[in-house]
Structure 1
Amino acid sequence: MTKVDADEFARIVAPYRYELSVHAYRLTGGSSDAEDALLEGMIAAWRGLAGLREQTALRAWLYRVTTNAALRLVERRGPCLLSWDSATAADPVAELGPPREDAPWVEPFRGISDPADATERREHLELAWIAALQHLPATQRAVLVLREALGYSADETASILDTTRASVNSALQRARATLAQQMPQPGDASDPDLDRAAVQTFVEAFTAGDVERVIELLAEDARFTMPPLPAWFDGRADVAAFLRTSVFATPSQVREVGVVDGHPAVLGEQLWEGEWRPGALMILHLHDGRIGWLATFVGPMCVA
């Protein structure tokens, strides 16, 4: 291919930008890091586009430069953290402590999702899966994503990562074994009608300040996390205590914002100087109408 200007390059790669941003997010575990990796990858792609001999190889080559950029970032930064990887569960009535702004937290994906692709998102974008990937070495992470999320063959993956088929197969086997230890074992499928009803009840009760009704939705082993604050709470009793003493201590309301990382999400807003302002993104991990994990993200990241 001949050298192209910036506008022409943007037109060429436009059909691939969303899927590449998803790919970078899977590898890095953070939306901000994914944006940085994608930018670095696109700069490399623009510089090297003229050397690409076959137009049909463009997609795989874009995945190659994006993967390399994401892996370099992960190597520099280290793995992203979940709250329970960062600290032990906190006392729900104690001081929360300051946020850890320096910690690389696992973040929700900020891209615009296609509702028709809900099954794929649940399997390969949900927060628990992204978090589990953080326990894999960077190359194993890339192999697993390329093979199982994107469906590349072992030979295609080896080409993208500049390695051998045998190395790809070995990395995939080890990655699967580690992931099986990190991911919860799948249980019975959740009842979608119960889950939809629970989301509606959560929104109504939260906005009405009915903390007891919200608590009724919690599973016995419920968890509440809220990065960048390192404090998190384990079990229905402690989550309930924190809701009563802290969350509902100030006027709040929530509104549905659709699906984030494969799960229903609401935007929490607080009354500040007579105006409702966004304060937290809350992702509800539900099973048969009970909340098992209230994954809350506090601050600017929730509305960016």
Structure 2
Amino acid sequence: MTSVLSGVSDELDPRLLEHRRELTGYCYRMLGSSFDADDAVQETLVRAWKSFGSFEGRSSLRSWLYRIATNVCLDQLSGRQRRALPMDLSGSPWSPVEASLAAKRPADAWVEPVLDRQVLPEDGDPAERAVARESVRLAFVAALQHLPPRQRAVLLLRDVLRWHADEVATLLDSTVASVNSALQRARATLAAMGGTPEERPLDADHRDLLARYLDAFERYDIDAFVALLHEDATQHMPPFEMWLGSAADIGTWMLGPGSGCRDSRVMLTEANGCPAVAQWRPTADGGHAPWALHVLEIEDGRIRHQTSFLDLDNDLFARLGLPATPDAEPAAG
């Protein structure tokens, strides 16, 4: 947080900071990046603080903040290429060989992960929490990036945040008819892409699966690891364009180009509404350093998909508040 904000947080507007988490979730869905979302929320709060004295209260403080946040996001999205996941770029899986690492894109090309504790409510109605969790899943966030920015805002405000059409129209300086039309087009686009979120609760069997996943990974028992995956499981590895399309190929990769992950340390967390695993890879001096955050999609008792966000620039863990070493405490969210 900027010194400007921290300097006034105990004076004029502590209420502004109460909305930080939900605003971060909204901006993350809009922008596809937790880091851009942090910047957008910070800009929102700075703008709100500077004009707080002129806030007339004709709308709620929450609505006023969402209006500012929406404008900040629309400004950020102007002229920007959409973020994607590797499977969006190539219809066929790649071979599990080192040469597949040749194709790489910069960080701003990819949808980025976000920890649940950064964007999801800690309490509240269970049904609303379920909707919020599903709406930050990677596939849904990636699908949102295909929508024009204003359609994206309308869909999020109406279908995720449950705002009324007239409230959205007021926020966007539009009409109810225009909002309803934009919502219909956005829903049709997402439905055609299979991007509509569906609730997938985590049950006791899933928790047992995750315990076996952690154990197999740390022992580097690849046979046991592969047995936890669906036969047609897939894996992304941003920032590389490559993706793998079967449990067998994932196992081949881990025993081949990915074998440097042997003797890693891992920790269970939650990201993008899913179980996630933080991984620290061994270093030459005998320690461990941040390597990847693996976001896991579970279906029918096995792992269907794994998105492995690699920390190649040594800033992913730090910016997400994950510890630099496996024995350190995570940063407060």
- Higher strand residue share: 1
Q: Which residue of structure 1 lines up, in the alignment, with residue 171 of structure 2?
A: 160
Residues 116-195 of structure 1: pairs in structure 2 closer than 5 A: 116=123, 118-183=129-194, 192-195=203-206
- 2: distance between equivalents of 1:254 and 1:212? 18
- 2: distance between equivalents of 1:152 and 1:298? 36
Q: In terms of mean alpha carbon deviation, does 212-221 or 43-52 score higher?
A: 43-52
Q: Of 79, 84, 89, which residue of structure 2 is paired with 1:81?
A: 84
Residues 123-272 of structure 1: pairs in structure 2 closer than 5 A: 123-183=134-194, 192-272=203-283
Conserved? CA contact 1:252–1:269, under 8 Å: no
The one-character-per-residue Cα deviations of 1:81-135 (angstroms, maximum 9, x if unpaired) are 1111234532211421264225421111141645546523322222121111111
Q: Which residue of structure 2 lines up, in the alignment, with residue 25 of structure 1?
A: 28
- 2: distance between equivalents of 1:157 and 1:165? 8
Aligned length: 301
- Unpaired runs of 5+ residues, structure 1, are none
- 2: distance between equivalents of 1:219 and 1:128? 18
Q: Which residue of structure 1 lines up, in the alignment, with residue 8 of structure 2?
A: 6
The alpha-carbon deviation at position 168 of structure 1 amounts to: 0.4
The one-character-per-residue Cα deviations of 1:253-294 (angstroms, maximum 9, x if unpaired) are 343332211111111111102102221001111112211111
Identity, % of aligned pairs?
Answer: 35
Amino acid at match of 2:102: G
Amino acid at match of 1:237: A
The alpha-carbon deviation at position 177 of structure 1 amounts to: 0.7
Residues 101-120 of structure 1: pairs in structure 2 closer than 5 A: 101=106, 103-110=108-115, 111=118, 113-114=120-121, 116=123, 118-120=129-131
Conserved? CA contact 1:271–1:277, under 8 Å: yes
Conserved? CA contact 1:191–1:288, under 8 Å: no
- 2: distance between equivalents of 1:114 and 1:44? 24
The alpha-carbon deviation at position 12 of structure 1 amounts to: 3.0
Residues 21-60 of structure 1: pairs in structure 2 closer than 5 A: 21-54=24-57, 57-60=60-63
Conserved? CA contact 2:134–2:199, under 8 Å: no
The one-character-per-residue Cα deviations of 1:133-192 (angstroms, maximum 9, x if unpaired) are 111111111000001111110000011111111010001011111111222688896772
- Across the aligned residues of Structure 1 and Structure 2, the Cα RMSD in angstroms comes to 2.4
The alignment's TM-score, normalised by the length of structure 1, stands at 0.90
Amino acid at match of 2:93: A
- The answer as to 2:94 corresponding to 1:90 is yes
Any idea what SS the aligned residue of 1:238 has?
A: helix
Q: In terms of mean alpha carbon deviation, does 266-275 or 51-60 score higher?
A: 51-60
The alpha-carbon deviation at position 238 of structure 1 amounts to: 2.2
Compared with structure 1, are the counterparts of its residues 9 and 130 closer, same or farther at alpha carbon in structure 2 (3 Å cutoff)? farther
The alpha-carbon deviation at position 205 of structure 1 amounts to: 0.5
Amino acid at match of 1:174: R
Compared with structure 1, are the counterparts of its residues 46 and 192 closer, same or farther at alpha carbon in structure 2 (3 Å cutoff)? same
The alpha-carbon deviation at position 249 of structure 1 amounts to: 4.0
- 1: distance between equivalents of 2:42 and 2:139? 26
Compared with structure 1, are the counterparts of its residues 15 and 214 closer, same or farther at alpha carbon in structure 2 (3 Å cutoff)? same
Compared with structure 1, are the counterparts of its residues 28 and 263 closer, same or farther at alpha carbon in structure 2 (3 Å cutoff)? same
Compared with structure 1, are the counterparts of its residues 137 and 213 closer, same or farther at alpha carbon in structure 2 (3 Å cutoff)? same
Q: In terms of mean alpha carbon deviation, does 257-266 or 14-23 score higher?
A: 257-266
Q: In terms of mean alpha carbon deviation, does 10-19 or 86-95 score higher?
A: 86-95
- The answer as to 2:291 corresponding to 1:286 is no
- 1: distance between equivalents of 2:178 and 2:223? 54
Q: In terms of mean alpha carbon deviation, does 167-176 or 115-124 score higher?
A: 115-124
The alpha-carbon deviation at position 9 of structure 1 amounts to: 4.7
The alpha-carbon deviation at position 220 of structure 1 amounts to: 2.2
Any idea what SS the aligned residue of 1:36 has?
A: helix
Conserved? CA contact 1:29–1:107, under 8 Å: yes
The one-character-per-residue Cα deviations of 1:175-224 (angstroms, maximum 9, x if unpaired) are 11111122268889677233211111110001001011111111122111
Any idea what SS the aligned residue of 2:79 has?
A: helix
Conserved? CA contact 2:22–2:120, under 8 Å: no
The alpha-carbon deviation at position 37 of structure 1 amounts to: 1.5
Any idea what SS the aligned residue of 2:97 has?
A: coil
The alignment's TM-score, normalised by the length of structure 2, stands at 0.83
